[in-house]
Amino acid sequence: MTAAGGKAIAIGADVSQAAAVAELVQRARAELGPIDILVNNAGIAITRGVDDLTEADFDSTIAVNLKSVFLCTQAVLPAMRAKQWGRIVNISSGAARGAGAIGPHYNASKAGVEGLTRGYAARLVKEGITVNAVAPSLIETDMMKGQPNLVARIPLGRFGTADEVAQAVMMLIGNAYMTGQTVAMSGGMAFN
């Protein structure tokens, strides 16, 4: 990144906590300037069957996967509104619209992300801020390690890659006309 003239920093934060998000945004602004682009990508996947799902599993999944999107979005909106320009891309999942293998708590958190996406998009469109989502399914990540049997469910015949998800995110960042949309990435498993 720096070789190409860019600048990046790493800041650890629990984005399910408002105070940690406020500090994260303040530090990022101090080091890099105003935040024009936000990609909400925090997520956890606690795999549980319906009978094994606990309230703590549910609460932590909603906090990390959904509440973090709200907190981070709210924290960057003042600067985006001041510039009348911003791009917000939320990472959802095919589980928002399908059964998924992780559990109903995960489905609910990702469906909520898509609801926040549409709700913010409708309210921010006239201020030059677009809000969209990318909903990947079965991407080659740590979450998929040890589950090669899942490839058989993908018509394309392979897991998706993080680079392919990044390409979809970049497409949404570069498109000023698209807002309130979810781009599904499923290798042919589902068509919206």
CATH number for the domain that contains residue 148: 3.40.50.720
Q: What pLDDT band is residue 1 in, cutting at 50, 70 and 90?
A: low
Gyration radius (Cα) of the chain, Å: 17
What tens digit of pLDDT does each residue of 77-132 get?
Answer: 999 999 999 999 999 999 999 888 889 999 999 999 999 999 999 999 999 999 99
155 within a domain of the structure (yes/no): yes
Structural domain including 41 reads 35-185
What tens digit of pLDDT does each residue of 32-60 get?
Answer: 999 999 999 999 999 988 999 999 999 99
What are the Cα distances from residue 138, in Å, to 15, 53, 75, 99, 157? 24, 22, 30, 13, 11
Active site residue 120: no
Predicted local confidence at residue 3, as pLDDT? 77
**CA dihedral in degrees (134, 135, 141, 143; nearest 10)?**
140
Measured from the Cβ of residue 128, the count of other Cβ atoms closer than 10 Å reads: 14
pTM (global) more than 0.85: yes
135 within a domain of the structure (yes/no): yes
User: Pick from 9, 103, 98: which is nearest to 62 by CA?
Assistant: 103
Predicted local confidence at residue 150, as pLDDT? 80
In the chain, the number of structural domains is 1
What tens digit of pLDDT does each residue of 129-184 get?
Answer: 999 999 998 888 877 676 777 888 888 889 889 999 999 999 999 999 999 999 99
6 within a domain of the structure (yes/no): no
Active-site residue, selected from the candidate residues 25, 69, 103, 106: 106
Report d(CA 130, CA 176) in Å as an integer.
7
Predicted local confidence at residue 191, as pLDDT? 64
Strand runs labelled E in the chain:
37-40, 86-91, 129-136, 182-185
